[in-house]
Amino acid sequence: MPHHHEHVPLLYQKFDPNDFLTTTVDSLCEILFPLGTIGNLLGLFIFSTSRRSTRISTAYTYLAISSSITNLLCLIRYTSILHSYSRDVIRELVGQFWWACKIYEFSFAFRIISSWITLFWMFERLICISTKLQTFFHRSKLTKFKFILPMSLLIVILSSVIGPPVIMFEPNTITYLNVTQNYCGINSDASVKWQEYFSKLDFGQNHYTIRCLLSELTPTFTIIFFNSCIVYHLIRTHRRFYRMSNVSSLYPKQSRTTSWMNLVLILHSSLFLLSLLSHIVGHWMSVEAHETWWVSLSILINCSLNFYLYCLSGSAFRNEIRRLVRLINIKKYSQNINQQYYYYYHP
């Protein structure tokens, strides 16, 4: 792990606009942003209108919808930082305006929320497939707090990671080699302890450590564990049903839907896990991994391609898309009929 090296945040790094890397990243942003926007909006509509998943678990539906929304917000944040034109605009704004500096620091919350929503989403699936966990939660009467507990935990995490920089950071000016640079950083009037809290880049009692633990390390290893348990259950269930004869009649429709829901989550979490692992590996190669362009690009790819992975999860998700298209066509047809009826009787 690097120690006490100076670093330049991605927002303030200078890139040659004609450089191959810059043009490549800009082109990827211009492709991934519309793909991700369309995909996440479609996923949002499908999960919010899917009666199959809602009948089995309302928590699953709410978490899937929340995941699509946070993916959209992350998409906007990381596209804005990675694309050279929007990065220049944001750099000027956060270096001059108090509100822009605060919004920029708060926007890192989208990634943290996305991490923990994925974790809660997997834990909800784990409870559904584990009779021991179901028994424990029913006996402890914790099921009635299934939304309050995660929200409370998320508020505590965001307060620890996002709260201090949002409160302490503001537009500042620095002059180096007769060049004046505006930036969003810690208040110059802050105490030495606060300045050290944000500047230290090794594991200890500082912001760097808290951010690594709560936004990267804890979600990563917990998601790996939950993913392994769900995959093991899916394999065991698949083998048990296929040992029987007349599989199609013995395999209940609800079980097929549950398997589809689990598979969608596994694909989502696996893609998400790749971006988290790239973040962790990045800490061994850079002072602050979240300030490197390639880690931000991996997050952007993760936020953009979830929907298209869902489409590969099997026919169940594709059937949901067809159902949504049919609903749209039916509405258009009924509107045309109503218009014709109106014009016929009101010439």
In order, the DSSP letters of 262-297 are: HHHHHHHHHHHHHHHHHHHHHTTTSS-GGGSHHHHH
272 vs 119: CA distance, rounded Å:
10
Out of 19-23, 42-46, 79-83, 85-89, which region has the weakest mean confidence (pLDDT)?
42-46
96 vs 270: CA distance, rounded Å:
39
Considering 123-132, 155-164, 217-226, the range whose residues carry the highest mean pLDDT is 155-164
What residues does 182 pair with on adjacent strands? 173
- pLDDT band at residue 102 under the 50/70/90 scheme: very high
- Show the 3-state SS of 32-75: HHHHHHHHHHHHHHHHHHCHHHHHHCHHHHHHHHHHHHHHHHHH
Between the CA of residue 290 and those of 111, 181, 199, 277, 340, what are the distances in Å?
A: 11, 22, 15, 12, 57
Considering 37-51, 68-82, 146-160, 306-320, the range whose residues carry the highest mean pLDDT is 68-82
For 121, the enclosing helix (H) or strand (E) is helix 109-129
pLDDT value, residue 100:
92
Length of the chain: 347
The larger pLDDT score, comparing residue 330 to residue 47, is at 47
pLDDT value, residue 332:
59
What residues does 175 pair with on adjacent strands? 180
- Residue spans of the domains in the chain: they are 10-342
* Percent of the chain at pLDDT exceeding 70: 69
Q: Kindly give the interhelix angle for 315-345 and 293-311, rounded to the nearest 10 degrees.
A: 70
Q: How far is CA 110 from the centre of its chain?
A: 7
pLDDT value, residue 173:
81
Contact 213, 205 (CB under 8 A): no
236-263 pLDDT, tens per residue? 766 666 565 444 444 454 455 555 566 6
- pLDDT band at residue 141 under the 50/70/90 scheme: confident
The larger pLDDT score, comparing residue 176 to residue 207, is at 207
279 vs 220: CA distance, rounded Å:
10
The closest alpha carbon to 7, from 288, 207, 206, 293, belongs to 288
**Taking the alpha carbons of 316, 317, 321, 323 in that order, is the dihedral positive or negative?**
positive
Out of 2-16, 18-32, 193-207, 283-297, which region has the weakest mean confidence (pLDDT)?
2-16
276-314 pLDDT, tens per residue? 676 666 656 555 555 678 788 888 888 888 777 777 665
Beta strands in 96-219 (DSSP E): 169-176, 179-186
pLDDT value, residue 340:
55
pLDDT value, residue 5:
42
Contact 94, 171 (CB under 8 A): yes
pLDDT value, residue 238:
63
Tell me the pLDDT of the chain averaged across its residues: 76
258 vs 264: CA distance, rounded Å:
10
Mean pLDDT of 329-339: 58
pLDDT value, residue 247:
47
Contact 267, 312 (CB under 8 A): yes
pLDDT value, residue 331:
62
The domain covering 10-342 belongs, at the CATH homologous superfamily level, to Rhodopsin 7-helix transmembrane proteins (1.20.1070.10)
CA angle 188, 193, 199 (to 5 degrees): 70
The closest alpha carbon to 258, from 134, 129, 155, 148, belongs to 129
pLDDT value, residue 104:
92
Considering 43-52, 156-165, 177-186, the range whose residues carry the highest mean pLDDT is 156-165
Mean pLDDT of 6-13: 68
- pLDDT band at residue 99 under the 50/70/90 scheme: very high
Considering 16-20, 101-105, 318-322, the range whose residues carry the highest mean pLDDT is 101-105
Report how far apart the first and last C-alpha atoms of the chain are (Å, whole number). 77
- pLDDT band at residue 67 under the 50/70/90 scheme: confident
The larger pLDDT score, comparing residue 163 to residue 332, is at 163
Out of 53-57, 228-232, 257-261, which region has the weakest mean confidence (pLDDT)?
257-261
